[in-house]
């Protein structure tokens, strides 16, 4: 398969696919005599692992590790679960931080008259 076929199959851009190859996230595709990359079904699998993992918040480095785990026949579900648990813990922390931000913004919006006057509780709070 060529890169445009792989891009269509994975719903990733050609640029992303090349980046993942450059960063070593996927195994290097073979090259045809004219230098074009030739992808196999295993490349599709690797790219889908990356795409799905990125969608739930894994970093590229974490995706690389997940692809490695996916390609290793000795990988245990315990190893994969541990990584998912770590990501879940990170997401919970981020959600808690976002909740604090949301609550502050809601308070500011509720407190501020938003009129043509100069009194602004938001600015007062930011300055204090």
Mean pLDDT of 95-119: 96
- Cβ-Cβ contacts under 8 Å for 44 (sequence gap 6 or more): 1, 6, 9, 10
Token code pair at residue 93: 């922390």
Would you give the distance in Å from CA 56 to the centre of its chain? 6
- Predicted pLDDT at 100: 98
Confidence band, pLDDT 50/70/90 cuts, at residue 3: very high
Average per-residue pLDDT for the chain: 96
Question: Which residue ranges form the domains of the chain, and what is each CATH number?
Answer: 3-127 (1.10.1660.10)
Segment 20-72, tens digit of pLDDT: 999 999 999 999 899 899 999 999 999 999 999 999 999 999 999 999 999 99
């Amino acid at each position: 398969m060529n890169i445009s076929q792989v891009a269509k199959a994975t719903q990733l851009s050609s640029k992303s696919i090349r980046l993942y190859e450059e960063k070593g996230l996927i195994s290097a595709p073979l090259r045809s005599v004219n230098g074009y990359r030739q992808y196999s079904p295993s490349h599709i699998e690797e790219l889908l692992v990356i795409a799905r993992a990125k969608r739930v918040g894994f970093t590229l480095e974490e995706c690389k590790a997940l692809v490695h785990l996916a390609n290793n026949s000795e990988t245990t579900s315990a190893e994969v679960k541990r990584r998912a648990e770590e990501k879940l813990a990170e997401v919970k922390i981020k959600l808690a931080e976002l909740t604090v931000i949301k609550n502050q913004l809601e308070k500011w919006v509720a407190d501020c008259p938003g009129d043509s006057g100069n009194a602004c509780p938001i600015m007062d709070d930011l300055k204090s």
